[in-house]
Structure 1
């Protein structure tokens, strides 16, 4: 590939001016291992050079592409840089990343896996988007406050989760959903501000502030879902029957389940049955036992849930032999003449999964928090209900994130 020189010197080291503790910057991974990204800002971009000085770029829209390890802006000037750092020319102007608007600055890392796109954003702005992405913005203020404190605690405890990738947290359900300014509302921004710096602790340590959509009547012990036991993540009642995910069901044939199990590395010859092991007080199974012709297999309950696309591990299984007519399905064993038409007919094994809730079931149920707020509970009562024996207070060491390390 022919290499062209860039006129503009590219940033290698990033410098961030000192800011107040509650407004320190965290790094959110927006895209990871991609080959291109589009950036746009109305007033135009500034880029930081090797001496930490800002230089203006001539255009307000750039498409950063990667080819054979080299970077290009708008298809010109291939360079082997490790990092590009973009700021808006006007202070506090929003930057679009693939059409979605974000506050703060955008960093593009050039790695052997592809481009990593990172949003450098203030903790308060990050939390406003997370709260709006995770719960319904029109819900009672006490729910928004509870979610803000939980989200802040989760973020601060997990700041090193993606350190090897150059950022603190992802923007997906693997951490917390973050959708930029599109998720913000004035009510949410106010709820974040009114709970500024507040976190959840147990024995003066930040807790693992996990949460989920719907418990289905009772949350799960952490020990049922994951290895180890957390004294503050215990099974508690959860009145969340207003949730559209309170109960659900999903049906599979025996053949379909066999195919799903094999697709996930379980080489079973023929499925004979499924049973649940280690069912906790919330009704969730820690493990699922697969009975097959060539042996028995023990699967983690959460893994089984994801393999089959079930909403939670809180389910029971009903197995039935059924007879079905289907002139379009060729999986049947013998034919049957019905009004001079040939139809295939065979007994099929069907598994019906009937369950409750959506998510892992540990920690705060968001729909449960909603119903508690409707009943008059404040955010402190909501949090103390779902997290056993915790304290709610200010994070004295850092009430708003980490100092950006560049």
Structure 2
């Protein structure tokens, strides 16, 4: 591993083949914005930088846990503290970063076959092992490590699990897995790396772990050696006693645990068996306020753990809630380059892209320090942000054309929420989140542009009563009809899949596979499910009970015999449902989407296939379904059980309904997302009609002022 320090090449491995600890005197990185309530944020409080949380454990607010992050840049990057870079990673050099925390050392061995066996088994156990390399007596030795963990108790559970695993037990010839921690002994400070490396190697050859520590005092570098990784004070005392026996005459003193440093190792997780070059891995130690700053360049910094995406700006690495936290700090306008390109198609009309840019900018600034160590996160919990890789000239131009422009009401930033498709009518904020917001009201929206060019699908029934959907280009009209007047078509392609819904879902098994010439009865025709119109299901009672679990104050019971809409809002979105006659009491109406197995929106109807209602001549109705949910038919001989599969019932107006032998539930709806504020597809529809971006924003957000500051 070669890093550049103050303009000259410096080997941190030397001849010993072991990386060093980089110890810094670090000032806490200032936060970009004061801690303020998002609702009090104004455009005047905006900074030209934004902090995007990528990995962190923020509890119920946001949780994206990653033990290490791997950074690479085509032009290299600087490592240090904010405003004081003091080491450079070379071009295209991958470097791992993590925390000096609790871990489990599963095994140490010189046999790469054992490494292969243990790693494969740990991965099969859903663990994520790292393999580190040291040299003892000139021999490459591999340490297989799991972690980091927030506490010794958490690490202890992992240690016990891998210790008792029967497949791994055969590898524990001398030592069993042990917990390691962040307490170290110092073996002195030296004037050169070479002197420190010699002491380090002496300790390694004695069978103990040791690392070079680089400290920066004043304007120069000093080199020290740290020994061991004790998990508590008792282990640290035991480590000192061990050193007294193995290293007589060497003075060892406890290292100040608040001192920030980088405990560095050689990571050979990838390619350890074929001799690939190790990757340096630095585990940061020190107080809770310690922060490591990674300065980028015009080529960006690639983050392996986020699908190798490249990012503008810089990275801050710190510990939050005893977990690694990674924050990308960059200019706000450059952040918007990625967001706008991710949120809408760059091929859309320029005015719709500008509207999205203003909405995204205002939304980001409204957040304040919502996520404690940053204003936003990189997922749709805030706004989708994938770094430089998704930027596009069209969306970049939209950001630049609206630079600094935000939306206000009464002199304060609004929260300009938006969604993909409102299904023809946006939602009033009260029918989604239960609170009224003056500028978020229901309006008609031209969202049907999302369906342009999509194919239609037929809902069909096979001769064995199986029902499903087939795309229109895979069938042809036979010219014949059933006795009830329903068209009969034939399949035109071998291996045609019948789907539960009118959409190809690669991860969902088809309901049937049929071949050319198979006859099907046409029940209905609908457009392919999309962000405007969609169908979901059919779901069984058990599937819905599982999805509903924990989402209502009142348990739904073990089965569902009846599911109905009992309340709607101004945009016809569902605000309340009843399960078996009882209100399903959720936190807010939008929770119904996840409670009903992940529906795209709350603008839906429920089709209950396990029962049907008869309207009598006198206006009276009665629903037919037995107490156990099995549908009964009314015949000249009285009640009789229906076919256990699918049955057809034709209404008075010729509509065909599918009735199943058990209670199943289908959801037929419009829209995608919460539906409040601007509809992205609707914005495109308005732009197609000639609206400019100011008019689009004023259409979806009532009584706003567009302000450039």
Distance verdict in 2 for CA 1:10–1:247, change over 3 Å: farther
Distance verdict in 2 for CA 1:79–1:29, change over 3 Å: closer
Paired residue for 1:260, among 497, 522, 547? Answer: 547
Contact 1:133–1:179, Cα closer than 8 Å, also in 2 = yes
Offset of residue 11 of structure 1: 4.1
Q: Which residue of 2 aligns with 1:312?
A: 601
Distance 2:644 2:46 in 1: 68
Q: Deviations over 1:190-210 (max 9, x none)?
A: 111111111111112111100
Offset of residue 269 of structure 1: 2.7
Contact 1:5–1:79, Cα closer than 8 Å, also in 2 = no
> Higher Cα Rg: structure 1 or 2?
2
Q: How does 1:159-198 map to 2 (within 5 A)?
A: 159-163=368-372, 166-198=373-405
Distance 1:160 1:92 in 2: 27
> Secondary structure at 2:333's aligned position in 1?
helix
Distance 1:317 1:10 in 2: 63
Contact 1:11–1:85, Cα closer than 8 Å, also in 2 = no
Q: Which residue of 2 aligns with 1:42?
A: 74
> Secondary structure at 1:199's aligned position in 2?
strand
State the TM-score, normalizing by the size of structure 1: 0.82
Paired residue for 1:221, among 413, 424, 428? Answer: 428
Offset of residue 228 of structure 1: 1.6
Contact 1:23–1:124, Cα closer than 8 Å, also in 2 = no
Distance 2:707 2:22 in 1: 51
> Secondary structure at 1:241's aligned position in 2?
helix
Paired residue for 1:142, among 339, 351, 358? Answer: 351
Larger displacement relative to structure 2 (245-254 or 210-219): 245-254
Q: Which residue of 2 aligns with 1:151?
A: 360
Offset of residue 272 of structure 1: 2.4
Contact 1:10–1:84, Cα closer than 8 Å, also in 2 = no
Q: Deviations over 1:29-62 (max 9, x none)?
A: 1122321111111222212348x42202354321
> Secondary structure at 1:56's aligned position in 2?
strand
RMSD in angstroms over aligned alpha carbons?
A: 2.8
Paired residue for 2:666, among 348, 352, 355? Answer: 352
Q: Which residue of 1 aligns with 2:315?
A: 106
Distance 1:235 1:296 in 2: 25
Contact 1:249–1:352, Cα closer than 8 Å, also in 2 = yes
For structure 2, the residue ranges without an aligned partner over 5 or more in a row are: 1-18, 33-44, 57-64, 103-147, 149-181, 183-261, 268-280, 451-529, 612-628, 631-642, 646-659
Offset of residue 226 of structure 1: 0.8
Distance verdict in 2 for CA 1:246–1:140, change over 3 Å: same
**Residue 63 (1) aligns with residue 96 (2):** yes
Offset of residue 65 of structure 1: 3.0
Paired residue for 2:335, among 120, 126, 137? Answer: 126
Contact 1:22–1:123, Cα closer than 8 Å, also in 2 = no
Contact 1:290–1:298, Cα closer than 8 Å, also in 2 = no
Contact 2:20–2:263, Cα closer than 8 Å, also in 1 = no
Paired residue for 2:24, among 9, 23, 26? Answer: 9
Offset of residue 262 of structure 1: 2.9
> Secondary structure at 1:271's aligned position in 2?
coil
Offset of residue 125 of structure 1: 0.2
Offset of residue 12 of structure 1: 4.2
Distance 1:194 1:93 in 2: 24
Distance verdict in 2 for CA 1:49–1:181, change over 3 Å: closer
Offset of residue 393 of structure 1: 1.6
Matched pairs, number: 365
Q: How does 1:322-333 map to 2 (within 5 A)?
A: none
Q: How does 1:240-279 map to 2 (within 5 A)?
A: 240-243=447-450, 244-251=530-537, 252-262=539-549, 264=551, 266=555, 268-279=557-568
Distance verdict in 2 for CA 1:284–1:16, change over 3 Å: closer
Offset of residue 245 of structure 1: 1.2
Distance 1:161 1:16 in 2: 13
Paired residue for 2:591, among 275, 285, 303? Answer: 303
Q: Deviations over 1:171-196 (max 9, x none)?
A: 11111111101121112111111111
Paired residue for 2:677, among 363, 369, 374? Answer: 363
Offset of residue 270 of structure 1: 2.5
Q: Deviations over 1:351-403 (max 9, x none)?
A: 11100000000000000000111111110111111111211122x4xxxxxxx
Q: Which residue of 2 aligns with 1:285?
A: 574
Distance 2:30 2:591 in 1: 42
Larger displacement relative to structure 2 (213-222 or 73-82): 73-82
Offset of residue 289 of structure 1: 2.4
Contact 1:11–1:47, Cα closer than 8 Å, also in 2 = no
Q: Which residue of 2 aligns with 1:30?
A: 54
For structure 1, the residue ranges without an aligned partner over 5 or more in a row are: 323-331, 334-342, 397-406
Distance 2:96 2:349 in 1: 41
Distance verdict in 2 for CA 1:186–1:78, change over 3 Å: closer
Distance verdict in 2 for CA 1:117–1:5, change over 3 Å: same
Larger displacement relative to structure 2 (242-251 or 123-132): 242-251
Q: Which residue of 2 aligns with 1:231?
A: 438
> Secondary structure at 1:353's aligned position in 2?
strand
Distance verdict in 2 for CA 1:105–1:221, change over 3 Å: same
